[in-house]
Structure 1
């Protein structure tokens, strides 16, 4: 599929690029997308949750009242979960939430995500650009020109560019990443995906090579 290349002012440059059908025009595999997004979200969890159980509470272990004759239930240590300040029954413990997926499935998921965006006409190709210094105002002007101001957008660079990255860091709805940092979740979470020309070769190479 052919897509017109825009400049940072949102105007057509008169050039077109050919997007690989093997990446941007496949039949989306929804289950692969589901598994990859599920893995991404699971990996965002730290798994450091912890509460103290009965054996970990600091307190006396003496029997707090006699076994019989009180008219109430039997009670042993004050650290019992039935008392205020006692341990928690089956409380959360540290856990590793990482999940494993094979590379081919992850590639299929990302190609499916790109194909979904391409079908919705939510992929924009822009010629490579740079700023002389980090300036949020300049980055906002680029978003305005592309009609993306105030919208969720994902800008994909070919290589790390600190000036562009730092210019976007204060903007809540826009994210700048390199082609090697792409994930299915980030592609689908963005309203529009802006691909710089320099990123296209890396994307197609990473997603088609086995």
Structure 2
């Protein structure tokens, strides 16, 4: 069975690239602002290295925390990161955007991917940037231009196909850049995040 959703004036789902999104407001929320500032370069030095070591713990993954993310969102993202080797992903750059396919033979991983995509579609439709601590700056930029992007999503028994297009060449570049970032994460997991944040 296939379900096709065509979403106009949205920007960014897992197929296009959002994978840094998750955790709920909780007792950790008090440290969110400090950790987010450190990620975005407002603090540095040895303390930043220590914080990054904490943020990227492979089991608890506190760096997945955002300003209003939910338990379901973080659970999906944690599953995606921890079992990234079970994800198949293909990206094709189009003249006006991207076409991606993200899937898994593992039903639990596949369910997490589909859930993640649907929640991101909702976030982009509402312009609700989760501002996750380890989030790529490219994702922030995509939220800023979400009205310039059209998204078509097809959910199948094997995974999710996403086509995202824009008439704005700068937005097309953002889509293609972040799609590549997500492919890197699907291949290397949290190591890709560590590397990007150390640059």
Give the TM-score normalised by the residue count of structure 1: 0.29
Higher relative contact order (CA 8 A, sep 6+): 2
Give the TM-score normalised by the residue count of structure 2: 0.30
Larger Rg: 1
More helix by percentage: 2
